[in-house]
Amino acid sequence: MKSLQDNCGVFGLCSDTECVHDIFQGIDFLQHRGQEYCGISTFDGSIRQITHYGKVAGTFSREDLGYLAGTRGIGHVSLWERQPVRWECQLGEIAVAFSGNVLNADDLIADMKGRGKAFYQGYNIEIISKIIMEEKDVVAGIHALARKVKGAYSLVVLTKDGIYAARDIYGFRPLILGQGPGRYAVASESRAIQNLEMETVRDVRPGETILINDKGFQTMAQLDSPRRAHCAFEWAYTASLDSIIDGVYVQEARNNLGESLAQRDIEEGGLEADIVAAVPMSGIGHALGYHKRSKINYQEVFLYNRYADRSYTQSSQLAREKMAKRKLSVLHYAVQGKRIVLCDDSIVRGTQIFNKVRGLKKAGAKEVHVRIACPPLMCPCDFGISTRSYGELAARRHIESGDITSME
C-alpha cells in the first residue's frame, strides 16, 4: 500500500462562465501545500482531466487549458501522486480529489479485495474513491467514509450534478467556502478564494457534506462531530500567512505564538540579545511576534531562495536536507558579533535548524538562542506529513539536554 502522507491542496469551482483559468489560479495559490503533482478536472457534459508531474505554472500549457472546457471543475496539488482521479461507476462519471491520510488503508484494501474489488496502486485516493463508489449516491458514499476510514480527509467530488465537498468528522484538514459574482468555490485555504477576488463565506463544518452548483451551497448532510481535532501545524507552518482557517488568521496565530515565547523569556528574567531573526518563510510571523513583545530589533539574517521548494514537503529525508541547504544563505553583515534570537515554527527532524545555527555561528554570530513556536514534537503524527517513527523526531532524541549543540 502506498501512503499519501501529506496535506495536499484541493480546489473546486462552479461558475457561470468557463472555469478552468480560475481553477488553474486557485491551485497555483495552493502550491505551497504540494509541489510534485498537480491536476485539473472539468465537466462539460463529460469529465475532462489533465494531471502533470511538476508545479502548476510550469506544466499546464495553453493547449491544456483550452481542452479543459466547462463551467465547473476541481483541482489538486500534491507531494505524492496525481489527482484528481476520474472514474466511471454506478454513480456515473465522477472525479475525486482529497487531502489527508488513511491510517487503516491495508485493512480496507484487504476487505475490498475479499469482496472482489481490484486495486491498481493502493493509493489512498483509490481507497477513498472506491468506498464512495460502492454506495447508492455520493452523499451515502461520503457517509461510508466516516464509518470506515480511520484518518483525516477533506475532499471534493466532481459529478454531473455539481461538486460535493466534505470534511471528516474531526475537522483535521481545513476546507473553506467562498463566492463572488457568478462563482461558488471551495478550497483548502482561503487565499485561493481571496486572490480570485471572491469573498470567504465560512469553513465547511466537521462532518458536513455540501453540494456546490450554479445555485450556490447546499448542505446535504451533517454528521455528528465527537470533538474538534484541527491540525495545529496548519497555523504554525503549513498554511500560507494570508489564510484564515476556522476563524483564526494564520498571521495572527503566528504573531501570538511569537509573543508568547517572548513573554516566557521575560517572566524567566529576560534574554539579552541584539536582534530577533526568523528562519524564512514560516518563522517570520513568529519572529515578528517575539520582536513586538520583547522590543528587541527585528533583523533578517538569511537570504531566502524563492526558487526553492519547502524543505518539509519533500518526499524523502535526503531531499529535505538538500532543499534546506538550497533555501537559505546567511547574510554575514547582519550577524557578525550579534546575539541572535532565532525563531522558527517547529523542530521535527531538525533538517534546517542544526545547519542554520552552525551557519550563523560560522558567519560570526556571538550567540544564537533558538525559540520554537510549536511545543516539542515527542510523538509521530499519523495524520500529517511523513513523521512515522519516534526515531525521526529531534525533540525525542535530544529534549533532555535542553541544548541545541547536543543535536550535532
At residue 272's C-alpha, the angle toward residues 267 and 276, to 5°, is 95
| Residue matched to cell numbers 487503516 | 104
The C-alpha cell 478536472 sits at: 41
Point out the catalytic residue in the list 8, 14, 38, 343.
Answer: 8
Task: Please list the alpha-helical segments (H only) found in 55-156.
Answer: 56-59, 62-67, 105-114, 124-133, 138-148
- E-strand stretches of 188-332: 199-203, 208-213, 216-222, 244-245, 248-249, 275-278, 302-304, 328-330
SS3 content of the chain, % helix, strand, coil (to 5): 30, 30, 40
Could you confirm whether 19 is annotated as catalytic?
Answer: no
Instruction: Determine the residue type at 111.
Output: D
Rounded to 5 degrees, φ, ψ at 99 are: -120, 125
Neighbours of 375 (CB within 10 A): 10
Angle between helical axes of 105-114 and 124-133 (0-180°, round to 10): 50
11: left (phi over 0), alpha (psi -120 to 50) or beta: beta
- Extended strands (E) in 79-230: 85-89, 92-102, 151-159, 162-167, 176-180, 183-187, 199-203, 208-213, 216-222
Active-site residue numbers?
8
